[in-house]
Amino acid sequence: MVKRAVAAAFLTALVFLSGLSLGFFWDTLRTQRSEQRIDELVVYSSALFLESRLIEDAGCESLRPVLDEAMEDLSEALQRYEFYTKQSRVNLDSENLLYRRYLMANLRYWFFYKEFKERCGLNSTIVLFFFGPDCPDCDVMSDRLTLLKKKYGGDVMVFPINMELAARDPVANTLKSIYNVTSYPSLIVNGKKYGYLEKKELEGLVCGGTC
């Protein structure tokens, strides 16, 4: 009886440890996958950023086709990053470097779209979305913005900035002071700052009659 109890304990420990190792191995794979996705974005956004400098010479029409596809990749990469960080045993991104790389790519996209809108008359609304930790209203706004993106596709461009993860990021902080963001959630639409908005208000603001 004692022998069996010990043997069972030994086997259970074996199962537990193999599960744990498998979990850690999975986390490594997740980190790799996240890194890879964000790297792709970094490369792609750098290219776009350079192209935005060349709009005058290249012409607006040649850039239009790449827009919609790029946006989808962007939000998917963030979703995956957030999901993996939540699920993993270890902190995948303890220095938030991965997130900051994502943010850099994100801001390059933002920059490119702003430029493209001004110069080529893009019909989209561009939203910069600041949010912070322990902020239930931010979650609500985030869900509302996702809904609008799903509803109106490329007509609504949302660029989220997680200020908890980007607390030490100089660009994020510069943007924060440019737009005088003091509380979360804060939305920057057409250069103006807004706080929490009801669903109808947000929809009216973002679509502004265009959609």
Partner 1 sequence: MITPFTLFTWVVLTLSTYISIYYLLMYLEGGKREGLPEEEPEVTIAVPAHNEKGSIYRCLESIYGLDYPQDKLRVIFVDDGSTDGTAEVVKEFVKKHADLQVLMVRHRKNKGKAAALNTALKLTKTPYFVTMDSDSFVDPGALRELLKCAKGCAVVTPAVIPARSDRRFHRLQAIEYVYGNYLANLLSGFDAQMVAPGPFSLFNTEMLREVGGFDETSPTEDLEIIYRLREGGHRVMMNYRAVVRTETPSSLGELIRQRKRWHLGFFDALEKHRGFLVHRSEFGAQTALKALFFSISAAFLILFIWGTYRGFLPVYTFFKAVGLDVLPYLRDLQLKFDLLGIDPQVLLYTSITIVLTLFFIVASFRKSEELHIRPLDSIIFLMSYGFALSVATVLAVVSWIRRDYKW
Residue ranges binding partner 1 (CB under 8 A): 1-2, 4-5, 7-9, 11-12, 15-16, 18-20, 22-23, 25-26, 29-30, 33, 80, 83-89, 91, 136, 139-144, 147, 150-151, 199
CB of 162 to partner 1, least distance (A): 16
Select 64 or 199, whichever has its Cβ closest to partner 1. 199
Closest approach of Cβ 1 to partner 1, in Å? 5
The string over 44-64, giving b where at least 16 C-beta atoms fall within 10 Å of a residue's C-beta and e elsewhere, is bbeebbebbeebeeeeeeebe
The residue assigned the tokens 């943010």 is: 103
Rounded to a whole number of angstroms, the minimum distance from the CB of residue 63 to partner 1 is: 26
91 vs 190, beta carbon nearer partner 1: 91
The C-alpha atoms of residue 186 and residue 53 are separated, in whole angstroms, by 29
84 vs 112 by CB, closer to partner 1: 84
Question: What is the closest distance, in whole angstroms, from the C-beta atom of residue 21 to partner 1 in the complex?
Answer: 9
**Torsion region of 29: left, alpha or beta (phi above 0 gives left; psi -120 to 50 gives alpha):** alpha
CA 4 vs CA 14, 15, 45, 155: distances in Å: 15, 16, 61, 66
> Smaller CB distance to partner 1: residue 36 or 190?
36
State the nearest-atom distance from the C-beta of 184 to partner 1, in Å. 15
Q: Which is nearer to partner 1, 48 or 77 (CB)?
A: 77
> What is the spatial distance between Cα 197 and Cα 96, in angstroms, rounded to a whole number?
29
Stated as kind and residue range, the H or E segment containing 38 is helix 2-53
Is the distance from CB of 189 to CB of 206 less than 8 angstroms?
yes
